Structure 1
Amino acid sequence: MTTHRSEKSYVLAVMHGLLGIGAVAGGLMLVIYPSGKWLNMPDSLLKNAPFTDFLIPGMILLLLLGVLPIYICISLLYRCKWVLGEKLNLYPERYWAWSFSLYTGHVLLIWIVLQMFWIQNVSLIHLFYFAWGLGIQTVTLLPDIQRRYTIR
Protein backbone atom coordinates (compact mmCIF):
# COMPACT_ATOMS: atom_id res chain seq x y z
CA MET A 1 0.00 0.00 0.00
CA THR A 2 1.37 3.41 -0.93
CA THR A 3 0.29 6.73 0.44
CA HIS A 4 0.47 9.99 -1.46
CA ARG A 5 2.77 12.50 0.14
CA SER A 6 3.56 15.93 -1.25
CA GLU A 7 7.15 16.91 -1.89
CA LYS A 8 6.76 19.67 0.70
CA SER A 9 5.83 17.15 3.39
CA TYR A 10 9.01 15.22 2.53
CA VAL A 11 11.00 18.45 2.86
CA LEU A 12 9.50 19.09 6.30
CA ALA A 13 10.17 15.52 7.42
CA VAL A 14 13.79 15.70 6.20
CA MET A 15 14.30 19.02 7.99
CA HIS A 16 13.24 17.36 11.25
CA GLY A 17 15.23 14.20 10.56
CA LEU A 18 18.48 16.05 9.88
CA LEU A 19 17.99 18.34 12.88
CA GLY A 20 17.31 15.31 15.07
CA ILE A 21 20.31 13.29 13.90
CA GLY A 22 22.71 16.17 14.52
CA ALA A 23 21.20 16.99 17.91
CA VAL A 24 21.27 13.35 19.04
CA ALA A 25 24.97 13.15 18.16
CA GLY A 26 25.86 16.43 19.87
CA GLY A 27 23.54 15.84 22.82
CA LEU A 28 24.92 12.37 23.49
CA MET A 29 28.49 13.68 23.45
CA LEU A 30 27.58 16.39 25.96
CA VAL A 31 25.70 13.96 28.21
CA ILE A 32 28.54 11.42 28.15
CA TYR A 33 31.26 14.08 28.46
CA PRO A 34 29.62 17.05 30.24
CA SER A 35 32.91 18.96 30.32
CA GLY A 36 32.40 19.73 26.62
CA LYS A 37 36.04 18.91 25.91
CA TRP A 38 35.10 16.15 23.43
CA LEU A 39 33.44 18.81 21.27
CA ASN A 40 36.21 21.37 21.95
CA MET A 41 33.79 23.54 23.92
CA PRO A 42 35.68 25.59 26.52
CA ASP A 43 34.30 26.21 30.02
CA SER A 44 34.25 29.91 29.20
CA LEU A 45 31.09 29.30 27.14
CA LEU A 46 29.27 28.68 30.44
CA LYS A 47 30.49 31.88 32.11
CA ASN A 48 27.08 33.63 31.79
CA ALA A 49 24.96 30.47 31.67
CA PRO A 50 22.99 29.01 34.59
CA PHE A 51 24.90 25.70 34.24
CA THR A 52 28.23 24.55 35.64
CA ASP A 53 28.77 22.00 32.87
CA PHE A 54 27.12 20.88 29.62
CA LEU A 55 25.04 18.02 31.07
CA ILE A 56 21.67 19.83 31.20
CA PRO A 57 22.15 21.54 27.81
CA GLY A 58 23.18 18.16 26.42
CA MET A 59 20.01 16.53 27.76
CA ILE A 60 17.84 19.31 26.31
CA LEU A 61 19.64 19.04 22.98
CA LEU A 62 19.35 15.24 22.95
CA LEU A 63 15.66 15.06 23.84
CA LEU A 64 13.94 18.24 22.58
CA LEU A 65 16.01 18.85 19.46
CA GLY A 66 17.15 15.27 18.82
CA VAL A 67 14.81 12.44 19.73
CA LEU A 68 11.59 14.47 19.39
CA PRO A 69 12.32 15.80 15.87
CA ILE A 70 13.25 12.29 14.71
CA TYR A 71 9.87 11.03 15.98
CA ILE A 72 8.16 14.00 14.33
CA CYS A 73 9.94 13.14 11.07
CA ILE A 74 8.69 9.56 11.19
CA SER A 75 5.21 10.65 12.25
CA LEU A 76 4.87 13.23 9.48
CA LEU A 77 5.54 10.43 7.00
CA TYR A 78 3.60 7.58 8.62
CA ARG A 79 1.05 9.27 10.90
CA CYS A 80 2.12 7.57 14.12
CA LYS A 81 -0.24 7.84 17.07
CA TRP A 82 1.03 9.48 20.26
CA VAL A 83 -1.47 10.01 23.07
CA LEU A 84 0.65 12.56 24.96
CA GLY A 85 1.31 14.46 21.73
CA GLU A 86 -2.39 14.57 21.02
CA LYS A 87 -3.08 15.92 24.53
CA LEU A 88 -0.41 18.62 24.17
CA ASN A 89 -1.62 19.60 20.70
CA LEU A 90 -2.72 23.25 20.79
CA TYR A 91 -4.23 22.88 17.31
CA PRO A 92 -6.72 19.99 17.63
CA GLU A 93 -7.88 20.43 14.02
CA ARG A 94 -4.35 19.42 12.96
CA TYR A 95 -2.47 16.16 13.32
CA TRP A 96 -0.28 16.30 16.46
CA ALA A 97 3.02 16.02 14.52
CA TRP A 98 2.12 19.17 12.54
CA SER A 99 1.69 21.07 15.80
CA PHE A 100 4.91 19.65 17.21
CA SER A 101 6.69 20.67 14.02
CA LEU A 102 5.69 24.24 14.78
CA TYR A 103 6.71 23.80 18.44
CA THR A 104 10.12 22.46 17.36
CA GLY A 105 10.71 25.54 15.24
CA HIS A 106 10.00 27.70 18.30
CA VAL A 107 12.23 25.58 20.56
CA LEU A 108 15.11 25.78 18.07
CA LEU A 109 14.82 29.56 17.81
CA ILE A 110 14.70 29.95 21.60
CA TRP A 111 17.64 27.54 21.99
CA ILE A 112 19.79 29.56 19.59
CA VAL A 113 18.84 32.95 21.08
CA LEU A 114 19.67 31.68 24.59
CA GLN A 115 23.03 30.35 23.38
CA MET A 116 23.91 33.70 21.83
CA PHE A 117 22.81 35.51 24.98
CA TRP A 118 24.80 33.27 27.31
CA ILE A 119 27.99 33.20 25.30
CA GLN A 120 27.67 36.85 24.22
CA ASN A 121 28.68 35.96 20.68
CA VAL A 122 27.10 35.12 17.33
CA SER A 123 28.72 32.63 14.97
CA LEU A 124 27.79 31.21 11.59
CA ILE A 125 26.44 28.06 13.22
CA HIS A 126 23.99 30.17 15.22
CA LEU A 127 22.80 31.92 12.07
CA PHE A 128 22.49 28.58 10.27
CA TYR A 129 20.35 26.97 12.98
CA PHE A 130 18.29 30.13 13.47
CA ALA A 131 17.50 30.01 9.74
CA TRP A 132 16.76 26.27 10.10
CA GLY A 133 14.21 27.02 12.83
CA LEU A 134 12.58 29.72 10.70
CA GLY A 135 12.58 27.28 7.78
CA ILE A 136 10.78 24.62 9.82
CA GLN A 137 8.15 27.15 10.85
CA THR A 138 7.75 28.46 7.30
CA VAL A 139 7.33 25.03 5.71
CA THR A 140 4.99 23.94 8.52
CA LEU A 141 2.76 26.95 7.89
CA LEU A 142 2.55 26.53 4.11
CA PRO A 143 -1.12 26.14 3.09
CA ASP A 144 -0.46 22.78 1.35
CA ILE A 145 1.18 21.41 4.50
CA GLN A 146 -1.60 22.70 6.73
CA ARG A 147 -4.19 21.03 4.48
CA ARG A 148 -2.23 17.77 4.39
CA TYR A 149 -2.20 17.54 8.20
CA THR A 150 -5.75 18.77 8.85
CA ILE A 151 -7.81 16.13 10.61
CA ARG A 152 -10.96 15.46 8.66
Structure 2
Amino acid sequence: MNQRVKETIKPSAGAGTAKSGKRPAAVMFLYVLQFFLGVGAIGGGLALIIDPSGSMMGMPADTVLQRSPFSSFLFPGILLLAVFGVFPLLVLYGMVKRPRWAWADAFNPFKELHSAWTLSLYVGFGQIIWIMVETYIMNAVSLVHVFYMSLGLLIQIATLLPSVQRFFQLPHGPGSYRR
Protein backbone atom coordinates (compact mmCIF):
# COMPACT_ATOMS: atom_id res chain seq x y z
CA MET A 1 0.00 0.00 0.00
CA ASN A 2 1.48 3.35 -0.91
CA GLN A 3 2.19 6.00 1.71
CA ARG A 4 -0.57 8.36 0.51
CA VAL A 5 -3.26 5.67 0.99
CA LYS A 6 -1.87 4.79 4.43
CA GLU A 7 -2.05 8.42 5.50
CA THR A 8 -5.62 8.70 4.21
CA ILE A 9 -6.93 5.78 6.24
CA LYS A 10 -4.68 6.21 9.28
CA PRO A 11 -6.57 7.75 12.22
CA SER A 12 -5.14 10.98 13.53
CA ALA A 13 -4.99 12.20 17.10
CA GLY A 14 -6.71 15.42 16.08
CA ALA A 15 -10.27 16.59 16.49
CA GLY A 16 -12.94 13.95 16.28
CA THR A 17 -10.94 10.97 17.53
CA ALA A 18 -11.24 9.00 20.73
CA LYS A 19 -7.74 10.17 21.64
CA SER A 20 -8.70 13.83 21.54
CA GLY A 21 -11.96 13.19 23.39
CA LYS A 22 -13.94 15.36 20.97
CA ARG A 23 -17.03 13.66 19.67
CA PRO A 24 -17.84 14.14 15.99
CA ALA A 25 -21.41 15.13 15.10
CA ALA A 26 -21.99 11.67 13.61
CA VAL A 27 -21.10 10.05 16.95
CA MET A 28 -23.52 12.36 18.77
CA PHE A 29 -26.20 11.49 16.20
CA LEU A 30 -25.57 7.78 16.84
CA TYR A 31 -25.95 8.41 20.58
CA VAL A 32 -29.35 10.02 19.93
CA LEU A 33 -30.47 7.11 17.72
CA GLN A 34 -29.50 4.51 20.33
CA PHE A 35 -31.18 6.52 23.09
CA PHE A 36 -34.37 6.98 21.09
CA LEU A 37 -34.56 3.27 20.23
CA GLY A 38 -33.90 2.24 23.83
CA VAL A 39 -36.44 4.57 25.42
CA GLY A 40 -39.10 3.81 22.80
CA ALA A 41 -38.67 0.06 23.15
CA ILE A 42 -38.81 0.27 26.94
CA GLY A 43 -42.14 2.08 26.63
CA GLY A 44 -43.50 -0.40 24.08
CA GLY A 45 -42.16 -3.43 25.93
CA LEU A 46 -43.64 -2.29 29.25
CA ALA A 47 -47.02 -1.64 27.59
CA LEU A 48 -47.04 -5.18 26.16
CA ILE A 49 -45.98 -6.70 29.49
CA ILE A 50 -48.60 -4.74 31.46
CA ASP A 51 -51.32 -5.64 28.95
CA PRO A 52 -50.34 -8.84 27.09
CA SER A 53 -53.67 -8.76 25.24
CA GLY A 54 -52.32 -5.83 23.20
CA SER A 55 -55.50 -3.78 23.59
CA MET A 56 -53.60 -0.96 25.33
CA MET A 57 -51.65 -0.49 22.10
CA GLY A 58 -54.59 -1.17 19.80
CA MET A 59 -53.25 -4.55 18.69
CA PRO A 60 -55.61 -7.40 19.62
CA ALA A 61 -53.46 -10.49 20.19
CA ASP A 62 -56.04 -12.89 18.76
CA THR A 63 -55.81 -11.30 15.31
CA VAL A 64 -52.32 -9.77 15.23
CA LEU A 65 -50.54 -12.88 16.52
CA GLN A 66 -52.36 -15.46 14.35
CA ARG A 67 -49.19 -16.23 12.36
CA SER A 68 -46.94 -16.35 15.43
CA PRO A 69 -46.14 -19.00 18.03
CA PHE A 70 -47.46 -16.65 20.75
CA SER A 71 -50.97 -16.39 22.17
CA SER A 72 -50.24 -13.10 23.95
CA PHE A 73 -47.77 -10.23 23.73
CA LEU A 74 -46.06 -11.10 27.03
CA PHE A 75 -42.98 -12.83 25.58
CA PRO A 76 -42.61 -10.39 22.65
CA GLY A 77 -42.94 -7.55 25.20
CA ILE A 78 -40.17 -9.01 27.35
CA LEU A 79 -37.95 -9.38 24.26
CA LEU A 80 -38.73 -5.84 23.12
CA LEU A 81 -37.95 -4.44 26.57
CA ALA A 82 -34.68 -6.34 27.00
CA VAL A 83 -33.23 -6.53 23.48
CA PHE A 84 -34.30 -3.19 22.03
CA GLY A 85 -34.93 -1.23 25.23
CA VAL A 86 -32.26 -2.03 27.79
CA PHE A 87 -29.58 -3.30 25.39
CA PRO A 88 -29.33 -0.15 23.20
CA LEU A 89 -29.03 1.93 26.38
CA LEU A 90 -26.24 -0.39 27.57
CA VAL A 91 -24.57 0.02 24.17
CA LEU A 92 -24.98 3.80 24.48
CA TYR A 93 -23.27 3.67 27.88
CA GLY A 94 -20.45 1.63 26.31
CA MET A 95 -20.08 4.13 23.47
CA VAL A 96 -19.93 7.09 25.85
CA LYS A 97 -17.69 5.58 28.56
CA ARG A 98 -15.83 2.97 26.48
CA PRO A 99 -15.31 0.49 29.32
CA ARG A 100 -13.44 -2.74 28.74
CA TRP A 101 -16.10 -5.43 28.57
CA ALA A 102 -14.69 -8.96 28.24
CA TRP A 103 -18.16 -10.32 27.42
CA ALA A 104 -18.56 -7.84 24.55
CA ASP A 105 -15.00 -8.39 23.32
CA ALA A 106 -15.92 -12.05 22.77
CA PHE A 107 -18.50 -10.94 20.16
CA ASN A 108 -16.26 -8.36 18.48
CA PRO A 109 -14.57 -9.54 15.27
CA PHE A 110 -13.26 -5.99 14.66
CA LYS A 111 -10.33 -6.04 17.09
CA GLU A 112 -9.14 -2.56 16.12
CA LEU A 113 -12.48 -1.02 17.19
CA HIS A 114 -14.05 -0.78 20.62
CA SER A 115 -16.64 -3.48 21.25
CA ALA A 116 -19.38 -0.86 21.80
CA TRP A 117 -19.00 0.08 18.12
CA THR A 118 -19.62 -3.53 17.12
CA LEU A 119 -22.57 -3.81 19.50
CA SER A 120 -24.07 -0.72 17.87
CA LEU A 121 -23.79 -2.45 14.51
CA TYR A 122 -25.53 -5.50 16.01
CA VAL A 123 -28.34 -3.33 17.41
CA GLY A 124 -28.99 -1.95 13.92
CA PHE A 125 -29.03 -5.43 12.37
CA GLY A 126 -31.27 -6.71 15.15
CA GLN A 127 -33.72 -3.86 14.73
CA ILE A 128 -34.02 -4.49 11.00
CA ILE A 129 -34.57 -8.22 11.55
CA TRP A 130 -37.11 -7.55 14.35
CA ILE A 131 -39.21 -5.31 12.10
CA MET A 132 -39.01 -7.76 9.19
CA VAL A 133 -40.23 -10.62 11.40
CA GLU A 134 -42.89 -8.41 12.98
CA THR A 135 -44.31 -7.36 9.62
CA TYR A 136 -44.32 -10.99 8.48
CA ILE A 137 -46.16 -12.13 11.62
CA MET A 138 -48.64 -9.26 11.47
CA ASN A 139 -49.00 -9.63 7.69
CA ALA A 140 -49.09 -5.84 7.50
CA VAL A 141 -46.82 -2.82 7.27
CA SER A 142 -47.61 0.40 9.11
CA LEU A 143 -45.89 3.77 9.42
CA VAL A 144 -44.50 2.61 12.76
CA HIS A 145 -42.77 -0.28 10.96
CA VAL A 146 -41.35 2.04 8.32
CA PHE A 147 -40.13 4.42 11.03
CA TYR A 148 -38.42 1.71 13.12
CA MET A 149 -36.97 -0.01 10.04
CA SER A 150 -35.53 3.38 9.05
CA LEU A 151 -34.19 3.80 12.59
CA GLY A 152 -32.37 0.46 12.30
CA LEU A 153 -30.94 1.49 8.93
CA LEU A 154 -29.86 4.88 10.31
CA ILE A 155 -28.10 3.14 13.21
CA GLN A 156 -26.27 0.98 10.66
CA ILE A 157 -25.32 3.94 8.47
CA ALA A 158 -24.19 6.12 11.39
CA THR A 159 -22.16 3.28 12.91
CA LEU A 160 -20.39 2.65 9.60
CA LEU A 161 -19.47 6.29 8.94
CA PRO A 162 -15.68 6.75 8.75
CA SER A 163 -15.68 9.48 11.44
CA VAL A 164 -17.53 7.15 13.82
CA GLN A 165 -15.15 4.28 13.09
CA ARG A 166 -12.16 6.56 13.68
CA PHE A 167 -13.65 7.72 16.97
CA PHE A 168 -14.03 4.14 18.24
CA GLN A 169 -10.65 2.98 16.97
CA LEU A 170 -8.54 1.58 19.80
CA PRO A 171 -5.17 3.17 20.52
CA HIS A 172 -1.96 1.27 19.88
CA GLY A 173 1.03 0.92 22.16
CA PRO A 174 1.87 -0.06 25.72
CA GLY A 175 -1.05 0.03 28.14
CA SER A 176 -3.60 0.51 25.39
CA TYR A 177 -6.86 -1.32 25.35
CA ARG A 178 -6.02 -4.05 22.86
CA ARG A 179 -7.43 -7.54 22.82
Output the TM-score relative to the length of structure 1: 0.93
Matched, 1:131 2:154: no
Structure 1: how far apart are the matches of 2:27 and 2:114?
13
Match of 1:51 among 60, 65, 70: 70
Structure 2: how far apart are the matches of 1:7 and 1:120?
38
- Aligned counterparts, 1:2-151, within 5 A: 3-43=21-61, 44-151=63-170
Per the TM alignment, residue 135 of structure 1 is displaced from its structure 2 partner at its CA by 0.5
Instruction: State which drifts further: 67-76 or 85-94.
Output: 85-94
Q: What amino acid sits opposite 1:150 in the alignment?
A: Q
* Count of residues in Structure 1 that have an aligned counterpart in Structure 2: 151
Which is higher, the Rg of structure 1 or of structure 2? 2
Structure 2: how far apart are the matches of 1:137 and 1:126?
17
Report the 3-state secondary structure (helix = DSSP H, G, I; strand = E; otherwise coil) of the residue aligned with 2:108.
Answer: coil
Q: What amino acid sits opposite 2:49 in the alignment?
A: V
Per the TM alignment, residue 93 of structure 1 is displaced from its structure 2 partner at its CA by 1.7
Deviations, residues 30-78 of structure 1 (Å, cap 9, x unaligned): 1222121222211211010111111111111111100010111122122
Structure 1: how far apart are the matches of 2:50 and 2:143?
26
Structure 1: how far apart are the matches of 2:85 and 2:152?
14
Unmatched tracts of structure 2, length 5 or more: 1-19, 172-179
Instruction: Detail structure 1 runs of 4+ shifted over 4 Å in the superposition.
Output: none
Unmatched tracts of structure 1, length 5 or more: none
Q: Over aligned residue pairs, what C-alpha RMSD do you find?
A: 1.4
Q: Which structure has greater helix proportion?
A: 1
Structure 2: how far apart are the matches of 1:29 and 1:88?
31
